[in-house]
Structure 1
Amino acid sequence: LAMIASSSPYIGLFGTVWGIMHSFIGLASVKQATIAIVAPGIAEALIATAFGLFAAIPATIFYNRLVSQVEAINNKYTAFIEELFVIFQRQQ
Structure 2
Amino acid sequence: MPTSSCVASTRRQDDERSNRTVKQIYAAILLLPWSLLTMSSSKPSSPCTKVCVLAGATGSCRGCGRTRQEISMWGGMSEVERRRTMAKLEDRLLTSIRQSEINS
TM-score (norm 2): 0.32
* Structure whose residues are more often helix by fraction: 1
Higher relative contact order (CA 8 A, sep 6+): 1
TM-score, scaled to structure 1: 0.36
